[in-house]
Structure 1
Amino acid sequence: MGELTQAEVYSPRTQQVWRALLSWLAFFFQIFFQIIRALGHYPLLSFSSSSSSSSSSSSSFKPLPSVELVEHDSPPPSALEITALDYSPADHPIQKLTVVLDLDETLVCAYETSSLPAALRTQAIEGGLNWFELECVSIDKEGEGKPKINYVTVFERPGLKEFLKKLSEFADLVLFTAGLEGYARPLVDRIDEENRFSLRLYRPSTISTEYREHVKDLTCISKDLCRIVIVDNNPFSFVLQPVNGIPCIPFSAGQPHDTQLLDVILPLLKQLSELNDVRPLLYEKFHMPDWFQKQGIPASSWTL
């Protein structure tokens, strides 16, 4: 019997096997492609939490990571028309900007010393945060009626001293905290040894509204809202003047490498200091009135 030629090796049966194999490969490729397309409609796991939170109108609040609260391609139909007042520099010299600063979770974070976790304390100190311990007079009384003393550990937000120094060069500084004076006054004495705050306001200066307590009404500082701005980690603090507020990221001892004061807030305040009216720019950046409306707070409660 003669030897098989190469053509005879690749018989029709062999060709059928190859066609079947190629068909199976095409089928699996099609299934794989459909899976890839389906996954493209979902965010990566590392982004899923932020994406889901931003879609919730009741709890979504994105403060100041890059000086943006909510992104808008165009203003929503309910947006306010806020127009800067047009002053002539010769007739009406621009006034110094007034910057109202919150205390807790904005400039510092404080913990009752006895309840501060040792691991958190170590992380903050090793991370380079400036800190100090403080004795504060409590509203509670001891057994004999003497004022109770609380011991508090305070961590300064990175860059705090430099922030206050540079800010005072072009703005009047006001401290406005919802904290009690017995706690806040000795704390501010420590972080403001140069007395850069021209005014300090404590909890009794806040007001209660039907929507929130401890609201900071800026009209108790100035009737001219064109040149005043408040920086606060709690946006409800400035619910009465939503277009005068800068919402900032809350600060805690677990953030030793935070750079908000010098890298984000200070440049924005410097930009605002050069404007006749701060409100149009703040509305453009944060759209706070629209955010408050989503929380069920009507425009009738605002002072503009």
Structure 2
Amino acid sequence: MAELAQAEGYAPRSLQIWRTLLNCLAFFFRIFLQIVRGTPSMTQVLSYIGLRRPLLDSSSPSFKPLPVVELPQRDSSPPTAPRICDNKDIDDDLSFEKLTVVLDLDETLVCAYETSSLPAIVRNQATEAGLKSFDLECISLDKECEGTPKVNYVTVFERPGLQEFLNQISEIADLVLFTAGLEGYARPLVDRIDVEKRFGLRLYRPSTISTEYREHVKDLSCLSKDLCRTVIVDNNPFSFLLQPLNGIPCIPFSAGQPFDEQLLEVLLPLLKHLSLQKDVRPVLYERFHMPEWFQKHGIPASDYKF
């Protein structure tokens, strides 16, 4: 009787051990299938282990990070995406207006530091890693003791691929610079990075508006009443809370990211894809779900139309 009880006590343990072994075999079999189907790239591996940040905080369940992949040259909007613009004057031969791309400046295209407070080791490491930089004098709103305008000295780092990005985008879109920075700072900076005058329009802090939720919001209605073919790229998504369906959030850029590839590997393919769409908003809604993201941050949806 004791032997029988002992045998009954061992049977479940033995079964559990076999189940554990089978689960381990199944796990390794799935890994083998992944290898057979195609080994992931180094970029994907870094993304898996958390060394690569998404375009926005992926903790928001409604937000879908943009993968670093080339998009198809032409694709119809998903059936679940909202249909916003029904322009009957637009036919199917892609004869529609040029895309308007609104670009933020600081932490999107460049990053700037007060020269006197920038550690030499940071400058040297960024330069050795290949980041292009330049020193700049800009006029401040502050005054010297004598009443003359104060001059600030800043060091500016260009985001990797900036010039190639602007060259390619300017061929397929009208470029607008929209920054919350003051003109005395931003104007000479943009003069340095845009010698070819690729920006057709520059907008500074006075063009932003204040809302009950955030200051320095960029209202795209100052550019056009019809925003079917307008997008805004900004590292601060609250900048486009008035038009969440037109916004593309991007990773903030700093001097500590010399191998950043957002401009050429992430934003450029997306903007090329959007340049072929009659209405960019269904595509951006399906990819980012920005209205829901704003709602989760306590900001109700703006007056947009589905």
1:46 deviates by 5.1
**1:85 matched to 2:83:** no
Residue pairs, 1:92-241, within 5 angstroms = 93-241=95-243
TM-score, scaled relative to structure 2: 0.76
1:119 deviates by 2.2
Partner of 1:70: none
1:62 deviates by 7.3
Q: Note closer, same or farther for the CA distance 1:185–1:127 as it changes in structure 2 (3 Å cut).
A: same
Structure 1 Cα separation of the partners of residues 67 and 303 of structure 2 = 26
Q: Which one is further off, 116-125 or 131-140?
A: 116-125
Matched-pair contact (CA < 8 Å) for 1:64–1:249: no
Q: Note closer, same or farther for the CA distance 1:55–1:48 as it changes in structure 2 (3 Å cut).
A: farther
Q: Note closer, same or farther for the CA distance 1:298–1:274 as it changes in structure 2 (3 Å cut).
A: same
Which amino acid counterpart does residue 274 of structure 1 have in structure 2?
Answer: L
1:254 deviates by 0.7
Structure 2 Cα separation of the partners of residues 120 and 174 of structure 1 = 31
1:117 deviates by 1.9
Please state whether the residue corresponding to 2:228 is helix, strand or coil: helix
Structure 1 Cα separation of the partners of residues 68 and 227 of structure 2 = 25
Matched-pair contact (CA < 8 Å) for 2:81–2:282: no
CA shift digits 1:161-186 (9 cap, x unpaired)? 11111111110000000000010000
Which amino acid counterpart does residue 226 of structure 2 have in structure 1?
Answer: D
Q: Number of aligned pairs?
A: 263
Which amino acid counterpart does residue 215 of structure 2 have in structure 1?
Answer: E
Please state whether the residue corresponding to 1:226 is helix, strand or coil: coil
Q: What percent of counterpart residues are identical?
A: 70
CA shift digits 1:24-69 (9 cap, x unpaired)? xx79x95xx69x99xx9xxxx955998xx74467xx97764548xx
Structure 2 Cα separation of the partners of residues 251 and 48 of structure 1 = 15
Please state whether the residue corresponding to 2:245 is helix, strand or coil: helix
Please state whether the residue corresponding to 1:155 is helix, strand or coil: strand
Please state whether the residue corresponding to 1:151 is helix, strand or coil: strand
Structure 2 Cα separation of the partners of residues 303 and 181 of structure 1 = 30
Please state whether the residue corresponding to 1:243 is helix, strand or coil: helix
CA shift digits 1:87-136 (9 cap, x unpaired)? 35459940011000000000000000011122221221011011100001
Matched-pair contact (CA < 8 Å) for 1:173–1:199: yes
Structure 2 Cα separation of the partners of residues 56 and 164 of structure 1 = 31
Please state whether the residue corresponding to 2:106 is helix, strand or coil: coil
Partner of 2:254: 252
Q: Note closer, same or farther for the CA distance 1:62–1:122 as it changes in structure 2 (3 Å cut).
A: farther
Matched-pair contact (CA < 8 Å) for 1:64–1:247: no
Please state whether the residue corresponding to 1:109 is helix, strand or coil: strand
TM-score, scaled relative to structure 1: 0.76
Residue pairs, 1:59-78, within 5 angstroms = 64=66, 66=68
Partner of 2:39: none
Which amino acid counterpart does residue 114 of structure 1 have in structure 2?
Answer: S
Structure 1 Cα separation of the partners of residues 300 and 137 of structure 2 = 42
Q: Which one is further off, 100-109 or 84-93?
A: 84-93
Q: Which one is further off, 85-94 or 225-234?
A: 85-94
Structure 2 Cα separation of the partners of residues 152 and 254 of structure 1 = 17
Which amino acid counterpart does residue 100 of structure 2 have in structure 1?
Answer: T
Please state whether the residue corresponding to 1:138 is helix, strand or coil: strand
Based on CA coordinates, which of the two structures has the bigger radius of gyration? 1
Matched-pair contact (CA < 8 Å) for 1:87–1:276: no
Partner of 1:283: 285
